[in-house]
Amino acid sequence: GNKSQDSGIAEMEELPVPHNIKISNITCDSFKISWDMDSKSKDRITHYFIDLNKKENKNSNKFKHKDVPTKLVAKAVPLPMTVRGHWFLSPRTEYTVAVQTASKQVDGDYVVSEWSEIIEFCTADYSKVHLTQLLEKAEVIAGRMLKLSVFYRNQHKEYFDYVREHHGNAMQPSVKDNSGSHGSPISGKLEGIFFSCNTEFNTGKPPQDSPYGRYRFEVAAEKLFNPNTNLYFGDFYCMYTAYHYVILVIAPVGSPGDEFCKQRLPQLNIKDNKFLTCDEEDGVMVYHHAQDVILEVIYTDPVDLSLGTVAEITGHQLMSLSTANAKKDPSCKTCNISVGR
């Protein structure tokens, strides 16, 4: 006789294995997942098990997430199913995912299918909605506005010599590094030239110290920032310090940089915002900057050295203030939003 009749237990048919997995609607902290499966035994599926893991890079600490359950047990809902929040997905991060179908038994245990194939995907950057949340947080601490008259950029003498010899006197935009928020849509993508505009409280002039080299290019503010430019909010972060940085982007209207920012960044009114303003008073352009944040201004077009002056500064080179590839403090309550870390 047949085995199952002898034992009086009907043999369970195996549960269908998910295949042809598709990931869609990816944001910085959610995604939709769907897959195909045989219709055989489909009606016995009560749950899905989803195994999600950060794709290990070679030098990451392998034991860091050992105690974090990576499996999501989800009720068998119609596909595609939205996954969000369960793991605090990080933006711009590569993940692997695999799925199995499960059937919950009377005793509370699960019968499960084989695992599906493993597929990889990468979460997205912050959207404009997320950046607007960051912007609102930055506005809270920006402080009162102080006057400014120049933008400046510190570099080593070799940099300016190179610009004169190889670029016909024009500083060229370069791709922004990965400093600041991990989900920032400008990191590694936006091309521009970094400028500072903060002034010393007592003199109203740029500080004499700088982390970026002893030579300073100084240019009248209206040469870079005027009614023919658009202003965008790019990022808000700190690096385990008491002071905070705000990245702003100035893009000539209609330029490639302007088109890039329009899609991705909140635009600011140049006459009326909490960080950097440009307004006309008695036929003269007047400029103000926020006192309580350090502004990093990215200008998206080449800038000719003849528009300003290059001179040696008298102060120190404070390397500790450099923000090159600096990592944002993920625990700071002031400058983090509650989406993907």
Strand partners, 154: 216
Of 91, 123, 155, the one marking the end of a domain is 123
Residue 47 lies in a domain: yes
Residues sharing a CB contact under 8 Å with residue 175, sequence separation 6 or more, in sequence order: 188, 189, 190, 191
List CB contacts of 215: < 8 A, sequence separation 6 or more.
154, 155, 156, 157, 159, 160, 310, 311, 312, 313
Say if residues 308 and 222 touch (Cβ distance below 8 Å): no
* 155 in Cβ contact with 165 (< 8 Å): no
Instruction: Please spell the DSSP secondary structure of 163-205, one letter per residue.
Output: HHHHSTTEEPPEE--S-B-TT-TTTTT-EEEEEE----TTTSS
Kindly report which listed range (94-103, 215-224, 280-289, 321-330) carries the lowest average pLDDT score.
321-330
Dist. CA 133–CA 84, nearest whole Å? 18
Query: In this structure, what token pair is assigned to residue 141?
Result: 């601490």
Q: What is the mean pLDDT of residues 218-238?
A: 95
Alpha-carbon distances, residue 218 vs 118, 155, 205, 244, 304 (angstroms): 54, 11, 11, 23, 11
Assign 11 a pLDDT band (cuts: 50, 70, 90): low
Same domain? 159 vs 194 = yes
Tens of pLDDT, residues 17-60: 999 999 999 988 889 999 999 888 788 899 999 988 888 765 54
147 domain-assigned: yes
Look at strands 245-252 and 294-299 and give their pairing.
Answer: parallel
**Structure pTM?**
0.82
- Residue 327's SS3 state is strand
Domain end: 123, 138, 166, which one?
123
Residue 147 shares a structural domain with residue 67:
no
Distance CA 261, CA 249 (A): 8
Residues 87 and 216 in one domain: no
Same domain, 279 and 144: yes
The count of domains in the chain is 2
* Residue 26 in tokens: 């990816």
d(Cα 107, Cα 303) in Å, to the nearest integer? 72
* Residue 243 counted as domain residue: yes
Q: Do 97 and 153 have their domain in common?
A: no
pLDDT tens, residue by residue, 153-163? 999 999 999 99
The domain boundary residue, chosen from 123, 157, 191: 123
What is the radius of gyration, based on Cα positions, of the chain? 27
Are 306 and 176 members of one domain? yes
Do 52 and 152 share a structural domain? no
**What range defines the domain where residue 41 resides?**
19-123
CA distance 182 to 188: 11
pLDDT for position 63: 45
Indicate whether 217 pLDDT > 70: yes
Q: What is the pLDDT of residue 261?
A: 96
List pLDDT tens digits, range 164-185.
Answer: 999 999 999 999 988 888 889 9
Model pLDDT for residues 70-122, shown as the tens digit of each residue: 678 888 888 999 988 666 788 888 999 999 999 999 998 889 999 999 999 99
CB neighbour burial string for 228-255, b if at least 16 within 10 angstroms, e if fewer: ebbbbbbbbbbbeeeebbbbbbbbbeee
